[in-house]
């Protein structure tokens, strides 16, 4: 969904093996215009980083030394992409080789995400900045941080022999071997080298396009290396951004669970989910007076696994997401 957003906040949950968040470590990162603010899990400012551009999307390397920046692009699928080195303040346009760009034009990129070890960056390469989903479709690509060259993941470049689909919201698995990806109304998993694509559009297993309330699914994030956390719903759920059902799927044994059993969070507690990184969630607050596609975000709430809810200080003029972290310890038994 394309919305004009004037501020961006990127929430980073840095988990220890017990899932706790030391108060002296950065756990949240807000951006306002050209500035990124690192804050603790208690919303206390730790560091402020000023960049040379008005930020639309960004990703922070695990060592917090590099930023991937995409300028603000209201009403468009993406924009140019840059590497910003925090210590030297150097800004470099990336990748060095253009990916999926029209002749004579710059690439249109979105959804950047550092790999868990910081050596690669995953992103979406759109065919154009505007138009319908077919016109803006594009594959996933991976940037090598040493060479700054990118490679298209071939498994996402020709879906069912029809070319690339509209890829979005990709997530690395904690070990960096697999990638969870969303297309138009369905999710899939591809290997990090792009050799194969596993279609997960039939989840949950009882999904039926004629008898079931579920007509789509969307991957949210990994829980360890074996489980995928996802949501499913119908067209009305998508319009209202509420009433979704949440599940956890084990990609190794094929077992599918309701989220309450694995995560300790019910559908009601996850209603309005905006982003999730095990074991915590961020849900959005919307204006009750809004209807359909006219709904507006007015705030965000951090929800812990034990159901504790804490309102974040940012308002609805900001956007929030949680960055993938290498969390593989203290996992629920269904995902070990």
Helices (H) and strands (E) in the chain, counts: 2, 25
Domains and CATH numbers, the chain: 51-201 (2.120.10.30)
Q: How far apart are alpha carbons 179 and 24 in whole angstroms?
A: 31
Backbone CA torsion sign across 54, 57, 61, 62:
positive
In the sheet that holds 245-250, the strands lie side by side as: 216-223, 227-233, 245-250, 256-258
Tokens of 268: 């009601």
Q: What is the CA radius of gyration of the chain?
A: 19
pTM of the shown model: 0.85
Give the span between the Cα atoms of 232 and 247, in whole angstroms.
Answer: 8
Q: Which residues of the chain fall below pLDDT 50?
A: 1-21, 207-211, 326
Residue 292: what pLDDT? Answer: 59
DSSP element (H, E) containing 150: strand 150-152
CB-based contacts of 89, cutoff 8 Å, min separation 6? 52
What is the per-residue pLDDT for 23? 56
User: Do 74 and 94 meet the contact criterion of CB atoms below 8 Å apart?
Assistant: no
C-alpha 204: how far from chain center: 21
- Please name which of 217, 68, 240, 84 lies closest in space to residue 142, comparing C-alpha atoms: 68
Alpha helices (H) in the chain, listed in sequence order:
235-240, 259-263
Report helix, strand or coil for 237. helix
Q: What is the pLDDT of residue 113?
A: 94
């Amino acid at each position: 969904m394309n919305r004009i957003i004037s501020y961006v906040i990127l929430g980073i949950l840095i988990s220890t093996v017990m899932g706790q968040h030391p108060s002296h470590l950065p756990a949240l990162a807000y951006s306002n215009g050209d500035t990124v603010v690192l804050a603790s899990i208690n919303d206390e400012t730790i560091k402020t980083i000023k960049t040379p551009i008005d930020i639309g999307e960004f990703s922070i390397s695990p060592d917090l030394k590099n930023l991937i920046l995409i300028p603000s692009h209201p009403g468009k699928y993406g924009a140019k992409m840059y590497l910003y080195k925090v210590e030297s303040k150097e800004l470099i346009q990336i990748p060095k080789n253009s990916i999926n760009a029209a002749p004579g034009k710059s690439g249109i990129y979105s959804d950047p995400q550092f790999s868990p070890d910081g050596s690669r960056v995953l992103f979406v390469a759109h065919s154009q900045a505007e138009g319908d989903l077919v016109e803006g479709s594009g594959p996933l690509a991976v940037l090598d941080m040493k060479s700054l060259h990118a490679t298209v993941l071939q498994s996402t470049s020709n879906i069912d022999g029809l070319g690339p689909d509209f890829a979005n919201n990709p997530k690395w698995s904690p070990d960096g071997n697999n990638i969870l990806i969303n297309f138009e109304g369905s999710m899939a998993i591809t290997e990090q080298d792009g050799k194969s694509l596993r279609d997960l559009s039939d989840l949950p297993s009882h999904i039926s396009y004629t008898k079931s309330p579920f007509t789509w699914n969307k991957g949210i994030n990994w829980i360890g290396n074996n489980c995928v956390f996802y949501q499913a719903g119908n067209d009305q759920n998508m319009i209202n951004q509420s009433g979704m059902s949440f599940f956890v799927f084990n990609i190794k044994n094929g077992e599918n669970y309701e989220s309450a059993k694995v995560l300790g969070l019910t559908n009601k507690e996850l209603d309005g989910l905006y982003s999730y990184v095990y074991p915590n969630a961020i849900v959005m607050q919307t204006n009750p007076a809004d209807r359909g596609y006219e709904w507006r975000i007015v705030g965000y709430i951090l929800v812990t696994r034990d159901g504790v809810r804490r309102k974040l200080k940012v308002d609805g003029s900001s956007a929030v997401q949680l960055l993938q972290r290498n969390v593989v310890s203290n996992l629920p038994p269904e995902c070990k």
